[in-house]
Structure 1
């Protein structure tokens, strides 16, 4: 939701950064690789208790992830870039959750349930993206939802900052939002499909 609503406000910064990288002869896929590398380092910093450095790396990774998409649209989008982008996003998010599970094994089961809810959410998201007609700027149909990447980063940041005291409740909140977002996304898609069927 925040990704979609906030896009007009952050787009000028994304455009400026993307134009700069293009002038430096960087490709969108290279920036995607840099973003995932920084995201993996975020997990490392959090593991060694350099929490705030880890969060800076996490959000920098997220910013570059938005920049690479802008670069692709300004140059030439590729199927490989889409695959790398979606896959590496899960690597970064999963790395943070994995590190929290290692550091706080008493919450490992709940964190595993969170991973499962993200797996289901992404399966639905990608399936809808594959079967629904694409009329947007992205390389496949982007089904917006209650929880998008910015919400995920905010919740991951809360989990990291307030662990272990509030890790249980913040993880539970993440799960609830993820499940609710999945249900609402599916309901919106089903409604759209039903309306299309009635028109034909």
Structure 2
């Protein structure tokens, strides 16, 4: 009886502890201030201070989230549904020879074919890269299709949620078809 109860408890714990997983469809390179930025890093926009930002991802609270990386400072800014923070260790998306990355207008959590997912949340929901013009820049945010919003926050400014935004999409070079 004791062994059966332990087995049931262990299975229940495993079911609740859904691990987040990385995107493996695209090429991501490890980054921090001491690493050289790859020439083919994917540009994501610019911040209010005029720095270019690159598409990145970070691990936070058992989720893998999109990040806007400012390579000059070595900081990756990211958002959840409730907060914004920054980390000094991240991955940067790099373009492969046969793939173009483009920003496509989207809205209301619509799934764009070829949308780039960075990974999943701790609830096993895919997380996508989005961006919008706000707070004096074009900032990368977090898109959860279930939320139907692009979530963006920059430093001390208010958390913003956009129902119209752009989504990062991968396209095969040459024929223009989506990934």
The structure whose residues are more often strand, as a share, is: 2
The structure whose residues are more often helix, as a share, is: 1
TM range (shorter): under 0.3
Normalising by structure 2, report the TM-score: 0.23
